[in-house]
Chains A and B, each alone.
Chain A
Amino acid sequence: MEWSVILPNALYMLGGLKGSFELAGITIVLSFPLGCLLAIGRLSSNPWIKWFCSAFVNILRSNPLILILFWFYFLVPFIIGRPVGDLMSAVIAFVIFFAAYFAEIVRSGIQSVGISQIQAGLSSGLTYSQTMRYIVLPQAIRSMLPALTTECILIFQGTTVAYVIGYSEMLHRASLVAERTLRPVEIYLFVTVIFLLICYSGSLLSRYFEKRL
């Protein structure tokens, strides 16, 4: 074991975290609202909207993330007509993929509030969207917080998959360093520890929310 290999390369690898957080952050910010829209769409009384949103969610949830990534890595430059950076393809793929997962969390959150609360709101003269906005969603979000936090951790973990299209996040940089220094053990154990620290903190946060419920 040559642990000294880690130190000189640590900054470079930790710099990859910037890429991980960037991708994860943009994904969360864009896919959560999209997921909410899809969830509301799935509960809509308009059959077209309901069908479209359900199909969208089901298709995305049936495919592996890495395949969706390949899809968009292929399609995006093709449709736009010129090459795009790997961040762009990755973001589009991730946002669309995780929106489907957020949609399911939000949908079951809304349904857990119970139809009687909706009836109480409607019966006092509020419109459907007022009822959603002031009565259902505030309660739903409280109950969804643990699941939403877990999903964010999964998104962060998912950024490692972007490695396959050459996106520069931490795992990718680690693999470059490991190849160069020929010391995979120390390097990969190092990034493992980093990931563990981050994900464990996330899971503590999720459990905190669950207790607060």
Chain B
Amino acid sequence: MKYDFNWGMMIEEPYLEWILDGIWMTVHLALVSWTIALIVGILIGTFRVTKSKWLRVIGAIYVEIFRGIPQLVQLFLWFFVFPMLLSEEWMLWWNGLDHVPYFTAVIAISLFTGARVAEQIRSGIASIPRGQFNAALSTGLTPPQMYRYVIIPYAFRVVIPAIGSEFLTVFKNTALALTVGIAETTYTARSIETDSFHGIEAYSMASLTYMCTTTMVVVFMGWVERRTHISGLITRR
């Protein structure tokens, strides 16, 4: 087995530019998708715990569908199927946009992840002891007030670890976007590999990107958890 290592090529042109572009693409694709996923997730998650049967059903259906279809298939659906289902003029508008693959990827990843976040929120709220609801209501708070001042802040602290790990899931899932033509980190690594046959250096670069980000996020989440810790509360670890 012979292999000529050439780590230096990673920091030479043109690969360096490819790499930086790829990483940047991964980062902002992840941030945008995660933000939308959080909004969707909090919405759907709350639906699933409200008194209204309809909202609960909508929430449940959403979660089953978006968790039951593999992420890659969802990407394909938004890329191949969605535009075809639009009316003539909307389809023209959509195809005329710059960065169609990017929007496709954002929608596909945020809706998938949103379903996962919804589940975390739902189980976070479900883990709050019944007594808290009773205590809040017994002091004369209305249900919306109860949610706003007592339940959501409590649930939030319980789900913080889960939210951090969802960001990491999103960050890793952006790699799948290469199948619809997004030149993110993994795509870049593969391009470098097929171009130069130096797979180990190329893939190491990609792995390093993901691992460094993971470590930074984990450390940051640890800090956040310590800051928002409710002492005496045994959270799910």
Direct contact of A and B (CB under 8 A): yes
Interface residues of A (CB under 8 A from B): 59, 61-67, 70-71, 74-75, 78-79, 81, 108, 157-158, 160-161, 163-164, 171, 175, 178, 184-185, 188-189, 191-192, 195-196, 199-200, 203
Task: Please name all residues of chain A whose beta carbon is closer than 8 Å to the beta carbon of B80 when the two chains form the complex.
Answer: 178, 184-185, 188
With beta carbons under 8 angstroms apart, the residue of A158, A188, A199 that contacts B67 is A199
Q: Name the one of A64, A70, A81, A160 contacting B70, with C-beta atoms under 8 angstroms.
A: A160
Within 8 A of A (CB), among B179-224: 179, 186, 189-190, 193, 199-200, 203, 206-207, 210-211, 214-215
Besides A62-B168, A67-B186, 9 other A-B contacts (C-beta < 8 A) = A62-B211, A62-B214, A67-B210, A108-B237, A160-B73, A161-B72, A192-B77, A196-B65, A203-B68
Q: How far is it, in angstroms, between the C-alpha of A63 and the C-alpha of B214 when the chains are bound?
A: 9
Q: Which 6 A-B pairs have the closest CB atoms?
A: A157-B70, A199-B68, A64-B175, A62-B214, A74-B199, A64-B172
Q: Is the CB of A63 within 8 A of B199?
A: no
Interface majority SS (helix, strand, loop, mixed), chain A: helix
CA distance A158 to B169 in the complex (A): 14
Expressed in whole angstroms, the minimum distance between the Cβ of A49 and any Cβ of chain B is 22
Is there contact, CB below 8 Å, between B69 and A66? Answer: no
Chain A residues in 8 Å Cβ range of B210: 62-64, 67
**Across the interface, do A188 and B73 meet the contact criterion of CB distance under 8 Å?**
yes
Question: If A63-B210, A189-B81 touch, does A199 touch B76 (CB 8 Å cutoff)?
Answer: no
Taking A188-B73, A196-B65 as contacts, is the C-beta distance between A66 and B178 under 8 angstroms? yes
Number of interface residues of B (CB under 8 A): 39
Interface residues of B (CB under 8 A from A): 1, 3, 64-65, 67-73, 76-77, 80-81, 84-85, 168, 172-176, 178-179, 186, 189-190, 193, 199-200, 203, 206-207, 210-211, 214-215, 237
User: Is A171 a contact partner of B73 (Cβ separation < 8 A)?
Assistant: yes
A188: chain B residues within 8 A (beta carbon): 73, 76-77, 80-81
Which residue in A74, A158, A178, A184 is a CB contact (below 8 Å) of B193?
A: A74
- In Å, the complex CA distance between A79 and B199 comes to 13
Is there contact, CB below 8 Å, between A161 and B176? yes
User: B81 and A195: CB pair below 8 A?
Assistant: no
Most buried by B among A74, A178, A191: A74
Separation in Å of the B82 CB from the closest CB of chain A? Answer: 9
Flag if A158 contacts B81 (CB, 8 Å): no
Instruction: Pick the contact of B85: A64, A67, A185, A191 (CB < 8 A).
Output: A185
With A62-B210, A157-B71, A203-B68 given, is the CB distance from A67 to B81 under 8 Å? no
Closest-CB distance, B66 to chain A (whole angstroms): 10
CB contacts (< 8 Å) of A191 on chain B: these are 73
